[in-house]
Amino acid sequence: MCGIVGVVGNRNATDILMQGLEKLEYRGYDSAGIFVANNNGSNLIKSVGRIADLRARIGIDVEGTAGIGHTRWATHGKPSEINAHPHQSETSRLTLVHNGVIENFAQIKDDYLSNHHLNGQTDTEIAVHLIGKFVEEDGLSVLEAFRKALHIIEGSYAFALMDAQDPNTIYVAKNKSPLLIGLGDGYNMICSDAMAMIRETNQYMEIHDKELVIVKKDSVDIQDYEGHSVERESYIAELDLSDIGKGTYPYYMLKEIDEQPTVMRKLIKAYTDDDNIVVDNAIVEAVQEADRLYIIAAGTSYHAGFAAKNMLEALTETPVELGIASEWGYNQPLLSKKPLFIFISQSGETADSRQVLVKANELGIPSLTITNVPGSTLSREASHTMLLHAGPEIAVASTKAYTAQIATLAFLAKAVGQANHNKAAEDFDLVHELAIVAQSIEATLSEKELIEEKVANLLATTRNAFYIGRGSDYYVAMEASLKLKEISYIQCEGFAAGELKHGTISLIEDGVPVLALISNNPILAAHTRGNIQEVAARGAHVLTIVDEALAKEDDDIKVMTVHPFLSPIAMVVPTQLIAYYATLQRGLDVDKPRNLAKSVTVE
């Protein structure tokens, strides 16, 4: 949530900041702004809305050798130009951008800033006024003032600060929110995400929580909050520039849906050697030693945990419990004696999940993070990591990460089951089955026109809809409904098909779309078909998405059969396309739905 970029050195700062912000726009798009400086002066430009709106305001005279930029997902204060970052201190000497939430901002205002004039409602403005007060009123150096403020500020933050009197330095600090240094030749950068700097450099340096960094064009000085220097090695990020473009696709979401067969094949490559499953022994042992697996995640990643639960239990013979990260940290159930926490997170930065991981680490509970982003916070701080190998996922609506998460958990389940000589695991030819999954996805992708047409009849104007299913189809229904509501704004619920008659069926009336998923065994299929009859009798407009082996002639969308453990992967793909086409037909921005951001770094 919120993207930060900064640069200092021998580059055109305006260009670098704007290109970086365009790449970071997925993190928030309520407003944006840049501050650019050189020895002759500075410019502060902000705009409500998208980066394109900001770009339209930037004249050719806005140039400099250093600058900071921000794209905002509003927390404190509505999206407006006044609340857009960067913010400035009372005398405008200091300029600050911030990602995160300052929890004690009201207290700071009362304790230190009663005589200050604040323009907007953001917590960030209070932070820059606080630092500014220590410089402008108390006579501290900017470094001393920043350090003093960091001892007072509580909450999550990634800060980048500039001083108009020294436009050759950017001061940064972080706690719980992501921020990285990018190292260049004659310039250095800061950024929320390596992807936004990859055009400029592939050499990075991590910043850890509660570190303050002084970035100049040819030096990076990392300190703790007491001022002691910290040594840090840089690393090379293996990011492919072509992965982060849209190519010829109109939207990232469609590109990412289409990439799923390739991702399945990449996963086979990553987790096998001569057809043998290869998962780090330490991870296999961690699962073997656990008496219960606790999967903690949010949104789509949480749904992927459900989709993999039965497979994990069957193959590892270990009970699996699911927890919504935002609830878990503050309402943790009674744990088993030997728990293993498994964090599933595409971004590896989700603050809700991270707060659980921090507590797990305090309690000495071992943990595994399953993520798409090597080096992400959840990866760094967990005991173990498994990667999704899905390539950058940029559309806010998660698609290929969900299917990669289930497939990665399949490798984990299979490796542990095999190590335990579990018969079901030994019989489960995962490599072969995933290859079939890739084919099944390709078959669904070749039916895009049919799906688009079905959607036009069903969802183009409706206000609400239901997905129903039983067994693993219920879990897919949860994900399918999240996808549809997230981007098309159709109010949609995913229901266990048998549960409708216990209350929700009262919402069914003429024309309400009910999308039914049927991929499980014939008994469950027959029950779901019974539930379809019940809603159809009450006027529902039903669309069926059915495994070919269970399909009847008049079913709407047929999905090539895959192994039951992997059926959520095959079954979700038509629902991703349904969400995509419904959103297009309703004239909305598929990749950037309102009020959302890709990486949710606030609790």
Give catalytic residue positions.
2, 598
Cα–Cα–Cα angle for 132, 134, 136, nearest 5°? 60
Which residues have C-beta within 8 Å of that of residue 569, sequence separation ≥ 6?
Answer: 264, 307, 403, 406, 407, 437, 441, 562
Closest to ligand M6R by CB, 368 vs 542, is 368
Closest to ligand M6R by CB, 357 vs 397, is 397
Find the shortest distance in angstroms from Cβ 482 to ligand M6R: 6
Find the shortest distance in angstroms from Cβ 409 to ligand M6R: 14
CB 599 within 8 A of CB 24: no
**Strand order of the sheet with strand 31-38?**
41-48, 31-38, 66-72, 3-9, 187-191, 180-183, 203-206, 235-236
Q: Is 281 helix (H, G, I), strand (E, B) or coil?
A: helix
What number of other Cβ atoms are within 10 A of residue 432's Cβ?
12
Closest to ligand M6R by CB, 47 vs 372, is 372
Distance, CA of 189 to CA of 197 (rounded, Å): 8
**φ, ψ for residue 223 (rounded to 5)?**
-130, 155
User: Which residue has the CB atom at the shortest distance from ligand M6R?
Assistant: 299
Find the shortest distance in angstroms from Cβ 378 to ligand M6R: 8
Q: Nearest to residue 479, comparing CAs of 560, 421, 398?
A: 398
Find the shortest distance in angstroms from Cβ 576 to ligand M6R: 10
Closest to ligand M6R by CB, 14 vs 326, is 326
Q: What residues line the site for ligand M6R (CB under 6 A)? A: 298-301, 345-347, 350, 353, 396-398, 482, 486, 600
Single-letter residue type at 175: N
DSSP alpha helices (H): ranges in 446-507? 448-459, 472-488
Find the shortest distance in angstroms from Cβ 583 to ligand M6R: 12
Find the shortest distance in angstroms from Cβ 499 to ligand M6R: 22
Closest to ligand M6R by CB, 354 vs 414, is 354
Closest to ligand M6R by CB, 188 vs 481, is 481
CB 566 within 8 A of CB 410: yes
- Bridge partners of 189, per DSSP, are 7, 182
Tokens at 90, concatenated:
């009372």
